[in-house]
């Protein structure tokens, strides 16, 4: 190996700067290059030792979270990440009742106003078109914590980072993204965009009448990634898709509340159920341990809870890896001096 002139110890700041995220919004993962994403993962690896103890990188900086939809993981994990970086958090978990949004203040004005109190915003909202139109009002970088049915990039990033830490790579990894409703699977779509950017192979399976939104398919296509779609697979076809994959990703989506709708949804879900026996059969036949990922919360009928205590389980590990990943993201977007 040749010696290099610029050989020196690593600096977290250099890797954070190399993400190109400083001062910018995070909306779609295909907006980032492969090199930027790897820089972010390097920052996350450097911060992993501090994900519980904390490290004072952003003292005096303030994160403002406004979630117009319910959340446990995304809001708490994002807020924990800022607190672990030595920053502070102001949080509104129910803006439609407790903020001036309840008095019909526009999202544009809300973004303008809360930018004055904070150094970075984290927003979850039902209406992706509204948020994308009003984002220019924000005067600090904005993290999408889920907009409408199309994008949930921090979930996609933590799923990518967990995959990277579990398998040591993303290039060439084969991921089955499967759901009884792909039309509302925003975490699966964000993961797919990130995987596509990193040279992984994506396999979608789901009902023909509830497909992945066109916008997402176009963005995947633009990366040149290998992506196949399987509509209404039979049980045997679904089993074969699982067997040929390294990972199965269940994006989850809320069960419809209406009784009739709920019954139809649960019936559809049964076609995609993953049992531990099925995974053990695949392991016996191929020697492969297929990892099961889920953005959570899960609901009864999606997969076997016995998977929790096996090497197939990745969904709770994703939750843990979300903290150093989101620490890396916030540090990179706010900037480390
Ligand atoms: N995975 C996820 O987005 O979970 P929450 O809805 O609890 O944030």
Tell me how far the alpha carbon of residue 185 lies from the centroid of ligand 1, in angstroms.
12
Question: CATH 3.40.50.1370 spans which residues of the chain?
Answer: 12-152+321-334, 155-320
Tens of pLDDT, residue by residue over 152-204, are 999 999 999 999 999 999 999 999 999 999 999 999 999 999 999 999 999 99
CATH of domain 155-320: 3.40.50.1370
User: Is the CB of 93 within 6 Å of ligand 1?
Assistant: no
- Token readout for 175 is 């991921």
- Token readout for 39 is 């820089």
d(CA 220, CA 229): 12
Please choose from 155, 162, 250 the residue to mutate so as to test ligand 1's pocket, defined by most ligand atoms within 8 A of CB.
Answer: 155
d(CA 328, CA 128): 25
CATH 3.40.50.1370, domain 12-152+321-334, yes or no: yes
d(CA 319, CA 73): 7
pTM for the model: 0.97
User: Is the CB of 155 within 6 Å of ligand 1?
Assistant: yes
Lowest-pLDDT range of 3-7, 91-95, 178-182, 256-260? 256-260
- Token readout for 94 is 């129910």
DSSP letter at 313? B
Block residue for tokens 């939809």: 69
Q: Give me the mean pLDDT over the 141-148 stretch.
A: 98
If pLDDT is split at 50, 70 and 90, which confidence band does 237 have?
very high
Q: At a CB cut-off of 8 Å and minimum separation 6, what does 151 contact?
A: 27, 28, 128, 144, 186, 189, 190
Tens of pLDDT, residue by residue over 239-270, are 999 999 999 999 987 888 887 999 988 998 99
CB 316 within 8 A of CB 310: no
């Amino acid at each position: 190996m040749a010696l290099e002139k610029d050989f020196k110890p690593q600096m977290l700041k250099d890797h954070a700067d190399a993400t190109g995220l400083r001062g910018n919004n995070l909306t779609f993962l295909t907006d980032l290059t492969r090199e930027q994403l790897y820089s972010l993962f390097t920052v996350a690896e450097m911060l992993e030792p501090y994900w519980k103890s904390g490290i004072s990188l952003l003292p005096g900086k303030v994160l403002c979270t406004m979630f117009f939809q319910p959340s446990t993981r995304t809001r708490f994990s994002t807020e924990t990440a800022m607190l672990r970086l030595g920053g502070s958090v102001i949080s509104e978990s129910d803006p439609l009742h407790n903020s001036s949004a309840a008095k019909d203040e526009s999202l544009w004005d809300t973004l303008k106003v809360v930018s004055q109190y904070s150094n970075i915003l984290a927003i979850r909202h039902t209406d992706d078109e509204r948020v994308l139109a009003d984002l220019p009002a924000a005067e600090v970088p904005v993290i999408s914590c889920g907009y409408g049915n199309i994008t949930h990039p921090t979930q996609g990033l933590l799923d990518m980072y967990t995959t990277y830490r579990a398998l040591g790579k993303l290039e060439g990894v084969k991921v089955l993204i499967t759901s009884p409703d792909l039309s509302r699977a925003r975490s699966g779509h964000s993961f797919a965009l990130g995987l596509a950017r990193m040279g992984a192979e994506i396999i979608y399976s789901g009902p023909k009448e509830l497909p992945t939104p066109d916008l997402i398919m176009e963005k995947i296509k633009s990366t040149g990634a290998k992506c196949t779609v399987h509509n209404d697979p039979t049980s045997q076809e679904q089993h074969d898709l699982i067997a040929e994959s390294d990972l199965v990703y269940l994006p989850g989506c809320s069960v419809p509340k209406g009784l009739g709708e709920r019954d139809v949804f649960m019936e559809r879900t049964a076609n995609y159920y993953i049992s531990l026996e099925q995974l053990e059969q695949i392991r016996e036949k191929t020697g492969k341990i297929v990892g099961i990922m889920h953005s959570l919360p899960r609901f009864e009928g999606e997969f076997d809870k016995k998977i929790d205590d096996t090497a197939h389980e990745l969904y709770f590990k994703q939750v843990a890896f979300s903290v150093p990943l989101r620490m890396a993201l916030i540090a990179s977007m706010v900037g480390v001096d």
